């Protein structure tokens, strides 16, 4: 492969093969790294790794912490091998589906086993293990707030703004009493985060051994009901009760717009504090991955602020963000910033100027192209060098599903541009992306397998049935790896 171009595969961790109903950090993840190496790929991209919950449909973009790891991703087999979980508890349950995640059953199953593993650790861990755990707790600054938040969420119903006033307002005496009264549950949550971090560190080391860089994801906003907002309310535009005064969204252009509901940042406060909250967040992310995609990059130039009680995106207004100062400050704190920016859709001068000032590569997705327009920026023949190009994304249909839904005119233009009859459209488009000028190219596992809309990972604007698709171990076979390796060698010499 050319040293100037790179390629890889997008596959979220939950979609990996594995014995416990959901992909995790165990054997399935390591098997996927082996597949990538055989396929001559050097990038693995995935969604955010934070804890998910049923109220948000277990969306990785609706996490209740920007710092913590998702307990559902913890490998139970590892915990059994360490003697903290009985082998029968780590056995594969008979209800698992290798093709789809049943989050309700998985969440209950995993929580029971993680509690058993915690009790096993408490009963049998040796001195070195206990010292390592205590060192993790002492060194991890965000952990104390997160473990108490996760504990209080189990004790009290509703959002944190519905908790007793002294806990919602973070009264020190009330929090100290809660930590003492619920010490075992707090310790449990700390234990889960410790084993997550250990397993992730082993996976990242294995990725380096396979010549694979990990590509993470940074949602710009966090959930209102999160440890992040509860622990750092001053970083957000909140009212006296802790609820958002204004929320995130996008304006009508030309449709009805969208109201996302996330609290918006108090950029004046953040600038006065040297953006410390963001520095800490990015430092955490870059300790886990080699590259990161910034979702909704527009929000670092200006944001659409919708009054929380408005109910319509049309009631919002644009407000400026000190984006240049922010990235310069972060770069001074953390060094060079290995970011890819999600700049899809309408590009104005502010977004382009901010992106190009820091030489961040933008995203290009051929499914968004007008294929009858030769100059369309999303057609592979028009990609610039400083680009990250995808066949499709986690938020789009698969290539096969997209092609089936095209109107006759667009399908004719696609067929003409790719010199195809459409029988192998996923690989035809993959070849076009791989042979483009884009410095970095990625495909998705469903596109490699030429799957249709049944394998779409997320349908934006919906909350049911998303994030469920999984790849099987059998699908990661030598023929597929060899086919992708062959294309990569020919396209990137």
Q: pLDDT per residue over 313-322, tens digit each?
A: 999 999 999 9
Question: Does the annotation mark 94 as catalytic?
Answer: no
Under 8 Å between Cβ of 315 and 322: no
Instruction: Work out the number of other CB atoms within 10 angstroms of the CB of residue 102.
Output: 15
pLDDT band for position 429 (cuts 50, 70, 90): very high
253 close to 38: Cβ distance less than 8 angstroms: no
Mean pLDDT value across residues 345-358: 92
> Residue 241 pLDDT > 50, yes or no?
yes
The yes-or-no verdict on residue 166 having pLDDT over 50 is: yes
Per annotation, catalytic residue among 78, 228, 295, 301:
295
Is residue 283 pLDDT above 80, yes or no?
Answer: yes
Q: What is the pLDDT of residue 1?
A: 43
Q: What is the mean pLDDT of the chain?
A: 96
Give the per-residue pLDDT at 3: 55
What tokens does 114 get?
A: 């993680």
Cα distances from 191 to residues 15, 88, 124, 158, in angstroms, run: 24, 21, 14, 25
129 included as an active-site residue: no
C-alpha to C-alpha distance for 94 and 80, rounded to whole angstroms: 19
User: What is the per-residue pLDDT for 357?
Assistant: 97
CB atoms under 10 Å from CB of 130, counted, come to 12
First to last CA, the chain: 5
Distance (Å, rounded) from C-alpha 211 to C-alpha 390?
A: 20
Q: How confident is the model at residue 462 (pLDDT cuts 50, 70, 90)?
A: confident
Q: What is the pLDDT of residues 6-36, one digit of tens each?
A: 999 999 999 999 999 999 999 999 999 999 9
Q: Across the strands, what pairs with 241?
A: none
The answer to whether 450 is a known catalytic residue is no
Whole-angstrom Cα Rg for the chain: 23
Rounded to an integer, what distance in angstroms lies between the CA atom of residue 414 and that of residue 364? 16
Residues 61, 231: contact at Cβ < 8 Å?
Answer: no
pTM of the prediction?
Answer: 0.97
Alpha helical stretches, state H, 6-126: 27-38, 76-81, 103-124
Q: Which residue has the tokens 């985060």?
A: 193
d(CA 77, CA 433): 38
Residue 461 has pLDDT above 90, yes or no: no
Strands 258-263, 246-250: parallel, antiparallel or unpaired by DSSP? antiparallel
**95-to-56, 107, 137, 260, 261 alpha-carbon distances in Å:** 23, 13, 36, 35, 36
Instruction: Check 122, 395, 437, 450 and give the catalytic one.
Output: 395
Q: How many whole angstroms separate alpha carbon 32 and alpha carbon 73?
A: 15
Place of tokens 């007793």: 164
Report whether 364 contacts 340 (CB < 8 A): no
Tell me: cis bond preceding 254? Omega within 30 of 0 counts: yes
> Which one is catalytic: 75, 145, 187, 342?
342
In this predicted model, which residue has the larger pLDDT, 1 or 450? 450
Mean pLDDT of 476-489: 98
| Largest interatomic CA distance in the chain | 70
* Residue 55 contacts residue 96 (beta carbons within 8 Å): no
**Element (DSSP H or E) covering residue 440:** strand 440-444
Q: What is the pLDDT of residue 181?
A: 98
pLDDT at 255: 74
């Amino acid at each position: 492969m050319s040293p100037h171009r790179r390629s890889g595969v997008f596959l979220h961790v939950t979609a990996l093969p594995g014995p416990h109903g959901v992909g995790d950090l165990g054997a399935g993840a390591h098997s996927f790294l082996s597949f990538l190496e055989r396929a001559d790929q050097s990038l693995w991209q995935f969604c955010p790794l934070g804890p998910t919950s049923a109220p948000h449909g277990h969306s990785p973009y609706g996490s209740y912490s920007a710092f913590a790891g998702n307990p559902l991703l913890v490998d139970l087999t590892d915990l059994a091998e360490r003697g903290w979980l009985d082998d029968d508890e780590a056995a594969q349950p008979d209800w698992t589906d290798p093709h789809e995640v049943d989050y309700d059953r998985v969440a209950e199953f995993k929580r029971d086993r993680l509690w058993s593993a915690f009790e096993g650790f408490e009963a049998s861990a040796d001195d070195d293990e206990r010292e390592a755990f205590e060192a993790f707790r002492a060194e991890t600054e965000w952990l104390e707030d997160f473990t108490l938040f996760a504990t209080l969420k189990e004790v009290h119903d509703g959002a944190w703004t519905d908790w007793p006033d002294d806990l919602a307002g973070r009264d020190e005496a009330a929090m100290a009493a809660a930590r003492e009264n619920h010490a075992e549950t707090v310790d449990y949550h700390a234990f889960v985060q410790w084993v997550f971090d250990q397993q992730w560190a082993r996976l990242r080391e294995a990725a380096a051994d396979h010549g694979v860089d990990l590509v993470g994801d940074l949602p710009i906003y966090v959930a209102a009901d999160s440890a992040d907002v509860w622990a750092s309310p001053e970083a957000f535009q909140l009212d006296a009760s802790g609820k958002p005064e204004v929320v995130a969204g996008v304006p009508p252009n030309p449709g009805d717009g969208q109201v996302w509901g996330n609290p918006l940042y108090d950029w004046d406060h953040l600038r006065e504090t040297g953006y410390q909250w963001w520095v800490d967040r990015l430092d955490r992310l870059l300790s886990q991955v080699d590259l990161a995609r910034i979702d909704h990059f527009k929000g670092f130039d200006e944001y659409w602020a919708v009054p929380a009680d408005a109910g319509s995106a049309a009631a919002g207004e644009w407000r400026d963000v000190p984006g240049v100062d922010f990235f310069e400050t972060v770069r001074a704190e953390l060094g060079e910033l290995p970011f890819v920016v999600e700049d899809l859709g309408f590009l104005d001068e502010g977004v382009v100027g901010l992106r190009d000032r820091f030489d961040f590569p933008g995203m290009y997705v051929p499914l968004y192209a007008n294929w009858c327009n030769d100059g369309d920026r999303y057609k592979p023949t028009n990609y610039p060098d400083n680009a990250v190009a995808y066949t499709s994304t986690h938020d789009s249909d698969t290539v096969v599903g997209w092609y089936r839904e095209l109107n006759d005119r667009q399908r004719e233009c696609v067929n003409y541009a790719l010199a195809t009859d459409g029988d192998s459209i996923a690989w035809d488009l993959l070849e076009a992306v791989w042979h483009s000028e884009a410095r970095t190219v990625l495909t998705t596992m469903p596109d490699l397998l030429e799957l249709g809309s049944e394998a779409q990972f997320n349908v934006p604007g919906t909350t049911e049935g998303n994030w469920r698709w999984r790849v099987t171990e059998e699908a990661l076979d030598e023929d597929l790896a060899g086919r992708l390796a062959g294309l990569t060698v020919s396209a990137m010499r």
